[in-house]
Structure 1
Amino acid sequence: MGQKQSSGSSRQIREANLRAVLHRMWDSEPVTGSDLMASTGLTRATVHGVCEDLIRWGWIHEVENQRQHGDYRMGRPARRYAFRPLAGVVVGADCGQHKVRAAVADLRGHVLARRDHAFSGLGHSAEERLEVLGRTVGEALRAASVDSACVLTVTVGVPAPVDSDGRTVGTFNEFWERMNPDIAKRLTELHGWTVLADNDANLAALAEGWQGAGRGVRNYVTLLSDEAIGAGIVEEGHLLRGARGAAGELRFLDLVEGVGSASGIAPLCRDWAREAVHDRDAWPRTSLRELAEDDIDAEAVFAAANHGDPLATDVVERIGARFTRIISTVAGFLDTERFVLAGALSGSCTKILDIIERDLPRYAHPPLPTVLASRLGDEVVLLGAIRRALDHVREQALEIVLPPTGPDTVGLHTAGGGAAVGPAAGPQ
């Protein structure tokens, strides 16, 4: 019994050492053994032994020491190691209502290629959804000249609640279930990839924490608002998902006075402006009347408001008032530090932010949360999907069997399945 405990303890220690060294190197420039000793507290022998294992498994490689001109120091130069960002790749995909956007990224999140395709219409089938998604990912891989076997993880964002198994079930919501027809399982069966599905607002929140307005903030809410509003909630640095992945769904807004629905900025702008242009008594002069009705969309309304158009200004004022109530309501039960308005229209939200700043003190108790617009635009879900895929690879690194050659050594794509994930490639 004692021997088994000792063996298990030894394996745990070895695994901890491997993770410590790999995670230290993942985000750094080439390092020496002494650098790793200083940052991890491990002995020289342990550091070099761990590095030999990580080299053998393909996560890192040894780099040459290049002496500078005039450097005449004697002795053998210190060994230097570097992480291999192209030991494999991850794929992020934003599978929305209207189209799929996919990007291939290296293991530090640098995007290598993007592709997108539209669906045939809002009523497209689950089969079309899966086919277009798979085709878009495949085209992105070919554009990056990456072998399909080098894909370590694919993350797909969908406009629906997603549980821990990647499914949308038991919602009694036909739209949600059509948006996520068990994408993770079926895409894995079709292509052999490790696939994660997640809610698009949750992924937007991850993106804001990684590259956006949530960086360095422990508590914030990302309001993803294009066609509908969804919230990605970060509490003490952790994403809140709920028991069935439905945390952040805002259907309760149907019951909030002055709000009445979870409609997003795009349909509010579009519908209110199209309705108002027909009322010539209320709005005798508006530049929006010069447009065809189908051309009156959110971008047109914001542009007109920026030029002082009275009808467009009124629409933006109404949207600002609605979002003030939404933010004050959510802030009342979450007590968060910051709200981030995210989505394709986030760059046009300056006037909405001004209205929220002006009116929020009427509804919310101090200290008031700050409210910012995302700088990530319509790529916020895509970036969040990449971040989620990277996090998964880092967490599972010692269980992932890397392909024999990564895209840093093979620049040609061939047919093939995903990277194998099986018995621990790390400590045995």
Structure 2
Amino acid sequence: MDATTATPSLRRHSLDVVLRHAWRVDAFTASDVIAAIGVTRSTAIDVLDELTARRLLSEMPNARAVGEYSKGRPARRFAFRPDVGVVVGVDAGRGHLTTTVADLRGDTIATSRLTVDPERDSPERRRRAAEATVDATLTRARRRRSDIVALCVGVPAPVDRAGRSPVHHDRFWERMNPGFVDTFSSWSPVVRVENDATLAAVAEHARGDAVGCDDFIALLAGERFGAGIFVDGRLLRGKHGGAGETVAFDRVRGVGGAEGLAPRCVAAARAALASGALPADSPLRDLDPDRIDAKTVLDLAATGDAGALAIAREVGAALAGVVGIFGSLFDPDRVIVSGAIAEGADPIIRAAVDALPRAVDLPAPRILASTLGADIVSIGAVAAAVDAARDNALDLPLFAPTADRARA
């Protein structure tokens, strides 16, 4: 490789590593960059000046001015500018659309939520609804479309590397992902569309129980099972985006389908009520079968109700089967039960932990309840948008050097 090709490559590498350092820290000096990254002082200063010209950094009052330096030449101080643009995360669930506008570090500025009727859904209605929620949230955040650096949409469908979903026999995936990558291509210079369970895994890796973990499964477990899979520090996707699809559970003895923990709790409670298997003192005996929900069952299990605990053990055995499958296929360190159901899932998880050694030959993964709550897909969408913004910032016209922007 000759100098004419090596120099731009080295320059780009230096810009990238310094920007990544700046993105995750507060105010810093050239010496901090040198210590953290290992570039020379001249390179550090040169790169910091260019990133400042690109508006990604701002120069702060020097160290002497803020009382951190008393002798010699005062050090120049810099800070990343998270407010120079915004990212947008959209959780486009089956019955809702939740949009978050955040700064470039992922700190929320504004959020909007729209309930949609899945029975009256269509690709065109879903596109219009998504556009409306993003516009409304930008207005609430006092930002414009031109401020968007990256946008990520999470959908309950497989998504390939290009952001598109395969054709499904009943067109469900087409309704859930009606070409969002095209819908928002004129809104944002970077558009990322992902499966919702994949974004749950992104959220766990960024802010949850998988920070620093390279091998884990984020198991969305509410209405249906869906899995976001990290192996060797990388998200698994598959050719059509179906790496975490769970339709194969229909053929697994002891699991019996892709239904999540919530409908399993309800079905088990109704069966116990109908058969008379519930203890005489269980409050579940007094409930209308049509009004039983998972939260009630799990709340009673948490109080020690024997009937609800028996239901949790039954559902926990099925969860152990699910975890055993993922444990055998991917050898994760942990499986994180995610989504709104996680808040009350401890009785199910305890039962699954007891049953798990019989379901896997490898060392059993830990089973944890996520702490990120019902908004985990939104959290993951914002985190994925931040990742996309960071990965692409140096190539975006918004952050081109001043002279290049003037020529454009």
Question: TM-score normalised to the size of structure 2?
Answer: 0.91
TM-fit CA distance, 1:315 = 2.5
Match among 180, 184, 191 for residue 181 of structure 2: 184
User: Contact conserved, 2:59 with 2:77, CA < 8 A, in 1?
Assistant: yes
Q: How many residue pairs were aligned?
A: 402
- Equivalent position of 1:55 in the other structure: 52
What residue in structure 2 maps to residue 398 of structure 1? Answer: 394
Note if contact 1:276-1:283 (Cα within 8 Å) is conserved in structure 2. Answer: no
Q: Distance in 2 between matches of 1:45 and 1:281?
A: 77
Amino acid aligned to 1:251: V
Asked whether 1:115 is paired with 2:112, we answer yes
Q: Who is 2:159 aligned against?
A: 162
Q: Which moved more, 1:134-143 or 1:240-249?
A: 134-143
2: CA distance between counterparts of 1:388 and 1:154?
8
1:143 aligns with 2:147: no
1:207–1:384 CA contact under 8 A, matched in 2: yes
Please report the RMSD computed on the Cα atoms of aligned residues, expressed in angstroms.
2.4
Query: Structure 1: which amino acid aligns with 2:222?
Result: D
Which residue number in structure 1 is paired with residue 374 of structure 2?
378
- Match 2:323 to one of 323, 327, 333: 327
Identify the residue that residue 298 of structure 1 maps to in structure 2.
294
Alignment counterpart, residue 345 of structure 2, candidates 349, 352, 356? 349
Structure (1/2) with the larger helix percentage? 2
Report what 1:29 is aligned to: 26
Q: CA deviation at 1:310?
A: 4.3
Cα deviations by residue, 1:355-386 (Å, 9 ceiling, x for unpaired): 01111112222522111111001111111111
Alignment of 1:386-425 (within 5 A): 386-402=382-398
Tell me, yes or no, if the aligned pair for 1:93 and 1:101 is still in contact at 8 Å: yes
Does the alignment pair 1:224 with 2:223? Answer: no
The within-5 A match list for 1:19-98 is 19-65=16-62, 67=64, 73=70, 75-98=72-95
**Could you list the per-position Cα deviations for residues 128-178 of structure 1 after superposition, in whole angstroms to 9, with x for gaps in the alignment?**
212222222222222222222111111011111000111112443522222
Structure 1 CA distance for aligned equivalents of residues 195 and 370 of structure 2: 18
**Contact 1:321–1:356 (Cα < 8 Å) also in 2:** yes
Q: Pick which of 211-220 and 116-125 moved more.
A: 116-125
Partner residue, 1:101? 98
Tell me, what secondary structure is at the counterpart of 2:138? Answer: helix
Could you say what secondary structure the match of 2:78 adopts?
A: strand
Quote the residue 1:339 is aligned against: 335
What's the offset of the Cα at 1:350? 0.7
Residues 254-278 of structure 1: CA deviation (Å, up to 9, x unaligned): 1111111100112222333345434
Compute the displacement of 1:48 (Å): 2.0
* Partner amino acid, structure 1, of 2:341: L
**Distance 1:250-1:336 versus aligned 2 partners, 3 A rule:** same
Give yes or no for contact 2:155–2:196 (8 Å, CA) kept in 1.
Answer: yes
Structure 2 vs 1, CA of residues 216 and 312 (structure 1 numbering), >3 Å: closer, same or farther? same
Distance 1:131 1:295, change over 3 A: farther
CA contact (8 A) 2:63 2:75 kept: no
CA deviation vs aligned residue, 1:93-140 (integer Å, no higher than 9, x gap)? 111111011111111121122211100234411122122222222222
1:238 aligns with 2:234: yes
Choose which of 339, 355, 361 in structure 2 pairs with 1:359.
Answer: 355
Deviation per residue, 1:16-39 (Å, 9 max, x gap): 111121112111121112222333
2: CA distance, partners of 1:72 / 1:35: 14
Q: Structure 2: any 5+ residue segments left out of the alignment?
A: none
Aligned to 1:10: 7
- Flag the 1:38–1:174 CA change in 2: closer, same or farther, 3 A: same
Gapped runs of 5+ residues in structure 1? Answer: 405-423
The separation in 1 between residues aligned to 2:280 and 2:37, in whole angstroms, is 71
CA distance in 2 between counterparts of 1:95 and 1:382 reads 9
Structure 1 residue 125 and structure 2 residue 122: aligned? yes
Aligned-pair distance for 1:287?
A: 2.4
Structure with more relative contact order (C-alpha pairs < 8 Å, separation 6 or more): 1
CA contact (8 A) 2:123 2:174 kept: no
Within-5 A mapping of 1:190-209:
191=187, 194-209=190-205
For 2:297, the aligned partner's letter is V
Q: What is the one-letter code of the residue matched to 1:206?
A: V
CA distance 1:45–1:132, shift in 2 (3 Å): same
How many angstroms apart in 2 are the aligned matches of 1:192 and 1:350?
41
Out of 363, 368, 377, the position equivalent to 2:364 is 368
* Residues 1:73 and 1:308: Cα distance change in structure 2 (over 3 Å): closer
Q: Which residue of structure 1 lines up, in the alignment, with residue 261 of structure 2? A: 265
Sequence identity of aligned pairs in percent? 36
Note the C-alpha offset of 1:313: 2.8
Which position in structure 2 is the counterpart of 1:411? none
